[in-house]
Amino acid sequence: MITSEEINAAINDVKPLFSELQNLYGCLPATQCRCDQPGVCCAFLPEMTWVEALRWIGVIKDLQEAAMREILRKFVEFYLTTPIHHTGCPFLIDGHCGIYPYRSFACRAYGLWSQTTGDNRTRENRRSRQALLQLWEQFGVAVPAKMVTFEIDYCDRTQCAIEKPMSDGQLMDILQQVYRLDQALPDLQTKFEAEYHSDFSFLIASLVLGYRKAILGKFAVIKEIVRQGTEERLQQMLGRATPDVLISS
């Protein structure tokens, strides 16, 4: 697993890369949501690179203690209750991004990909969720089928600030440059991708609960919610989300 000590050391090591990351983000044109349900596309957390994950942790560490405690609880709850509950991105506040300047590439590029690419990715995500439901069924947990189709169709109501939108090829080129930043920390990048599946909420939950307990705890919480309709285990685990989990001893 990845420890808080490793994370804090990594943040110090890659701080110069944060400005490079922001510069790459700046290559994407500004967009504006024309949807009548702002924030609905933020129901799930995007996959991200390791440097992006470190940037998010840096943002959390800069919060006041009460705000840090609250956001940690939200990420642990997001991890433990998905796919039963859809609380939305923990950074979402009243339909708006609470860390807009630091949102990930996936967030920024949403609505910029071609409709074909966006539709294909939506279908792939739904197939993955269908496979996840089947996995839960093997453990005796019947997750509502509606959770598969909860994700909205790919948005066609994003307004781009430039007249000619970027092509998928141009977007992919920038994304590859974002991924190259991870080469500064190859070992931790590999752990983040292989052990945490590039899932930021899983990373936070494992820091709070421990890697093994995060996995077992998720099964326990989901089973309790589905079978008993209660959340006692969840509340017990959320109580462990304190700011000191991000501070090296």
The domain locations on the chain are 4-246
pLDDT tens, position by position, 98-140: 999 999 999 999 888 888 998 898 888 878 777 777 777 777 7
pLDDT of residue 248: 56
pLDDT at position 104: 95
**Average of per-residue pLDDT across 192-212:** 96
Distances in whole angstroms, Cα of residue 141 to Cα of each of 34, 126, 219, 228: 38, 19, 9, 11
Work out the number of other CB atoms within 10 angstroms of the CB of residue 202. 24
**Could you tell me the CA-to-CA distances from 73 to 87, 112, 114, 245 in Å, in that order?**
12, 32, 35, 12
How far is residue 13's CA from residue 6's CA, in Å, rounded to a whole number?
Answer: 10
Using CA of residue 157, residue 160, residue 163, residue 168, what is the dihedral sign? negative
Q: What is the pLDDT of residues 8-46, one digit of tens each?
A: 999 999 999 999 999 999 999 887 777 776 667 787 888
CB 15 within 8 A of CB 209: no
Q: List Cα–Cα distances, 110 to 9, 48, 93, 114, in angstroms.
A: 31, 13, 18, 10
- Structure-block tokens of residue 65: 């203690």
Q: How far from chain centre, in Å, is Cα 193?
A: 13
